[in-house]
Amino acid sequence: MPPETLVSRLELAAQPDAVRWARRHARDVLNAWQVSDDAIDSAALAVSELVTNAVRHATNTASLDRLALTLRHSHIQLRVEVSDPDVRPPVRSGAVSFTSEGGRGLRLVETVSKEWGCYHPPTGGKVVWCAVALDD
């Protein structure tokens, strides 16, 4: 029988301070789940980038005001999911100049995760996710 998956979900208003609250929540939950410090750091960075993207794009559309962070710990990997009502998929920027203030988010997510993707749930909107490896 496979080990039980641990799940935590946090709903947030799509406002700039959502990033700070999501990152704090992720660190607290992952500490409680006794995840390694390295995996916590990687997950916290992924959470920051994915929530930042959700907030940034939600603020462009008045009707998009809620998002959710879901953490899933399967004892093999940690899955970070950020859902929002915007159906537009994430777009990884091309070349980013050294002086650019943005455009690195999904590249950072790629760096700290094994894989990432996006899907559209039947309830609408989208979920952008990534999988972070856990230490043995």
Average pLDDT, the chain: 85
Distance (Å, rounded) from C-alpha 117 to C-alpha 24?
Answer: 23
Distance of CA 3 to the CA centre of its chain: 23
Which CATH number is 60's domain given? 3.30.565.10
Count of structural domains within the chain: 1
Q: Is residue 1 part of a domain?
A: no
3-state secondary structure of 84: strand
Looking at residues 93-119, what average pLDDT do you find? 71
Q: How confident is the model over 50-102, as pLDDT tens digits?
A: 999 899 877 555 555 789 999 999 988 999 999 998 888 887 665 544 444 55
Q: Does residue 52 form part of some domain?
A: yes
Please state the rounded mean pLDDT for residues 105-120: 88
Q: Is the pLDDT at 4 greater than 90, yes or no? A: no
Domain contains 39: yes
0.95 exceeded by the pTM?
Answer: no
Say if residue 30's pLDDT is above 80.
yes
In a domain, 80, yes or no: yes
| Residue 24 is assigned to a structural domain of this protein | yes
CB 46, CB 112: distance < 8 Å = yes
Domain span at 57: 6-94+101-133
